[in-house]
């Protein structure tokens, strides 16, 4: 048996930060001559349809099969198929309920596939895929959205009594049992996987049980970035961990770099032409993620802080209100003309970050964005919003030491980060001397490590080979038991 005999089924979470790397993984596997099927919903399939079409044109054995979520049955509006379309975090539980209802349709689909599936790689938030893989007699590998550091911290927090020893949500404590001294608040440590309702308690218990029974863990990271944490996560989870990233570096063509996730709110060529006019390392890129939600007043402060800094910038604004649109068009854009480029909606982030003119990145610390910043070799300003982003921030600032924090706490989304603080952070990250240069040098070194990891013979390239070989061994073992 060889990789060309394998058929991988990938089931990504309906969220940009999870779907984008899973599509990259699908194409990497297809480049290794495996057959790959991605299962998702119509709205999500449309977001990466062009990337898959290009892969098919390149004779890769890859396809997308669509299943419809039962949204009306759980109380969500039709078409609301991605977490970034859900108006309130309180409604996430309804999406999980709809995702659970995909189990039988998925099984019906997989049993009709030719060749038959060899392995399921699914997001950890699809716990039923472990049971499904067992019924099909094939391995299931768990895809972890964040890196090994963050998931190890979450594992420790969720499986010890440490949170019970901390009184207030705002009290800091040191995460025990890890290499680095990491201080977080109780709220930051538990903002991912909140279990405030019975439904969420039950869901996370199922998720943990399913992960224990899974056959391995796939992480979009690379061993040189977090060597201690790869090993410690493997010990804590009692299973193999394969770091196969940064998978974004698999993209080489202009279109693959430009069309990642959603249609950009700017012509990609115009964006590059604008960057071409700027000096090396002189531009800061501001993008707070596909699910960020900031007030109009905070948006004004960001804009004014960028204006005060005198630094050239690209600023991606996810949503504008009538008030903020008026503020932008009736004065602000004219004042920063030539120095600032504003993108409304989705930005071609990897394309921008990989341009030589970009020297800094204001990020919400989603793991996808974190790793894309690392891969580009540029320092970051960290502005986490929710979930694992606060732990990712600690990784950027305290472990990698390539970031500066704006110092936002959980539950402080209404706290205004003033323009003066934004200006100061931008200047700290963009400075070419003293601490700024040390930070910049470390960031460049990590960027070089990331590229080497993905090259033939690099750690992530080797790990992908080992992962494929392990799937083959597991299939042979399962078939032997059947015989």
Tell me the mean pLDDT in the region 162-181: 87
Q: Are residues 151 and 215 in the same domain?
A: yes
Residue 274 has a pLDDT of: 94
159 against 401, higher pLDDT: 401
Q: Are residues 459 and 384 in the same domain?
A: no
Q: What is the pLDDT of residues 282-338, one digit of tens each?
A: 999 999 986 677 888 989 999 999 999 999 999 998 877 888 889 898 889 999 999
Q: Which domain holds residue 346?
A: 264-451
Q: What is the pLDDT of residues 379-392, one digit of tens each?
A: 999 999 888 899 99
pLDDT surpasses 80 at 411: no
Residue 321 has a pLDDT of: 80
Residue 482 has a pLDDT of: 39
* 258: in domain: no
Three-class SS state of 294: coil
248 vs 21: CA distance, rounded Å: 7
Q: What is the pLDDT of residues 226-248, one digit of tens each?
A: 999 999 999 999 999 999 999 99
Q: Are residues 272 and 126 in the same domain?
A: no
Residue 412 has a pLDDT of: 53
Q: Enumerate residues 6+ apart whose C-beta is below 8 A from 255.
A: 50, 51, 54
102 against 256, higher pLDDT: 102
Q: Are residues 322 and 470 in the same domain?
A: no
Q: Are residues 299 and 268 in the same domain?
A: yes
Residue 483 has a pLDDT of: 30
Residue 413 has a pLDDT of: 52
* 234: in domain: yes
Q: Enumerate residues 6+ apart whose C-beta is below 8 A from 360.
A: 283, 284, 285, 311, 378, 379, 380, 381, 426, 429, 430
Q: Are residues 223 and 335 in the same domain?
A: no
Q: Are residues 163 and 89 in the same domain?
A: yes
pLDDT surpasses 80 at 481: no
244 vs 461: CA distance, rounded Å: 7
Q: ω before 246 within 30° of 0 (cis)?
A: yes
Percentage of the chain modeled with pLDDT above 90: 67
180-188 CB contacts, 8 Å cutoff, 24+ apart: 180/398, 180/399, 181/398, 182/153, 182/394, 182/398, 182/399, 183/394, 184/153, 184/390, 184/391, 184/394, 185/409, 185/410, 187/409, 187/410, 187/411, 188/390, 188/391, 188/409, 188/410
Name the pTM for this structure. 0.91
């Amino acid at each position: 048996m060889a990789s060309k005999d394998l058929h991988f089924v990938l089931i990504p979470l309906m969220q940009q930060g999870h779907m984008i790397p899973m599509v990259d993984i699908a194409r990497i596997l297809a480049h290794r001559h495996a057959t790959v099927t991605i299962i998702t919903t119509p709205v999500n399939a449309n977001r990466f349809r062009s990337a898959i079409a290009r892969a098919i044109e390149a004779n890769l054995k890859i396809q997308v099969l669509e299943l419809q979520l039962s949204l009306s049955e759980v109380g969500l509006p039709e078409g609301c198929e991605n977490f970034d379309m859900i108006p309130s975090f309180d409604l996430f539980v309804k999406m999980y309920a709809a995702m659970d209802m995909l189990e039988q349709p998925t099984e019906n689909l997989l049993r009709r596939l030719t060749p038959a599936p060899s392995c399921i790689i699914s997001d950890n938030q699809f716990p039923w895929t472990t049971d499904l893989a067992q019924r099909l007699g094939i391995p299931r590998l768990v895809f972890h959205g964040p890196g090994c550091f963050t998931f190890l911290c979450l594992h420790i927090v969720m499986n010890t009594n440490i949170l019970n020893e901390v009184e207030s949500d705002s009290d800091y404590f040191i995460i025990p049992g890890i290499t680095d001294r990491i201080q977080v608040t109780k709220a930051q440590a538990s903002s991912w996987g909140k279990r405030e309702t019975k439904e969420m308690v039950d869901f996370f218990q199922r998720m943990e049980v399913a992960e224990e029974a899974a056959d391995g863990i796939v992480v979009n990271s690379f061993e040189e970035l977090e060597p201690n944490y790869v090993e410690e996560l493997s010990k804590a989870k009692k299973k193999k961990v394969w770091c196969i990233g940064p998978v974004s570096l698999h993209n080489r063509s202009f279109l693959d770099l430009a069309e990642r996730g959603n249609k950009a709110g700017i012509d990609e060529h115009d964006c590059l032409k604008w960057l071409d006019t700027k000096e090396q390392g002189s531009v800061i890129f501001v993008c707070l993620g596909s699910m960020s939600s900031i007030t109009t007043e905070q948006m004004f402060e960001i804009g004014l802080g960028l204006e005060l800094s005198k630094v050239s910038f690209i600023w991606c604004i996810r949503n504008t209100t009538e008030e903020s649109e008026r503020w932008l068009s009736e004065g602000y854009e004219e004042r920063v003309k030539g120095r600032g480029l504003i993108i409304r909606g989705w930005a071609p982030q990897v394309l921008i970050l990989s341009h030589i003119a970009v020297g800094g990145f204001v990020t919400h610390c989603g793991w996808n964005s974190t790793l894309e910043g690392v891969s580009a070799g540029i320092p970051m300003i960290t502005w986490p919003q929710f979930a694992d982003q606060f732990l990712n921030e600690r990784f950027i600032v305290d472990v990698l030491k390539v970031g500066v924090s704006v110092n936002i706490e959980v539950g402080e989304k209404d706290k205004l980060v003033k323009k003066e603080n934004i200006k100061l952070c931008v200047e700290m990250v963009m400075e070419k001397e003293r601490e700024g240069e040390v930070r910049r040098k470390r960031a460049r070194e990590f960027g070089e490590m990331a590229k080497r990891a993905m090259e033939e013979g690099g750690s992530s390239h080797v790990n992908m080979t080992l992962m494929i070989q392990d799937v083959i061994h597991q299939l042979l073992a399962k078939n032997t038991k059947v015989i």
